[in-house]
Amino acid sequence: MTTLFLIMRRLTVVFLVAVGAVIFALSALADRPTRTPFEGVTFSSVLTDVCAFPVNVNSTISGFEIDYVDQSGALTRIFTHQVEQDTFTANGQTLVGDPFTAEFQVLFDSGGSVIHAYGTGLFETIPLPDGSTFISAGRADFTQHPGVGFLLSPDMGNPGNLAGFCAALSP
């Protein structure tokens, strides 16, 4: 009986060491993700493909970014959770959007090139002067819009009342 007990005990120790080695090896496959908060980041864009005239956009964002890397330290994915507020101006008119929450994921191939840049959630909520609200929400792949720095409407989902938006900024 004691021989069986010693064998079982040795097998248990070997099993625990093996499990520990597997857990250690798996954790070595990639570094921990890096979370970076940001606040009050501002940028400007010009929309040229929404209305018959250019629309200036000033944006302020706050939130956090999480960077994921593989075992060699190469970036594989970026996840961003943010609250954004935008102000639109054209022809002497101004529209101020409500703050909204959105999420973005940027995916990289093994060579470090961006293969997808998805935005999901609300794209914009803007009270219009006629009492209605422009609301766009859904999902967009920004890689399908090269050279575009700002999307007012998603690729899939609700594009919002673009005619009402443009009418509110018309001269």
Q: What is the pLDDT of residues 144-166, one digit of tens each?
A: 998 887 889 999 999 999 999 99
106 and 160 belong to one structural domain: yes
61 and 18 belong to one structural domain: no
User: In the prediction, which pLDDT does 27 show?
Assistant: 45
pLDDT above 70 covers a percentage of the chain that reads 82
4 and 56 belong to one structural domain: no
Cα 49 from Cα 57, distance rounded (Å) = 13
Does 11 score more than 70 pLDDT? no
Q: What's the pTM value of the predicted model, to 2 decimals?
A: 0.76
Strand 100-108 versus strand 34-47 pairing type: unpaired
Cα 48 from Cα 50, distance rounded (Å) = 6
Each residue of 57-104: pLDDT tens digit? 999 999 999 999 999 999 999 999 999 999 999 999 999 999 999 999
Q: Which domain holds residue 126?
A: 34-169
Which phi and psi (to 5°) does residue 55 adopt?
Answer: -120, 125
83: β partners = 62, 101
Number of folded domains that form the chain: 2
Strand 93-96 versus strand 100-108 pairing type: unpaired
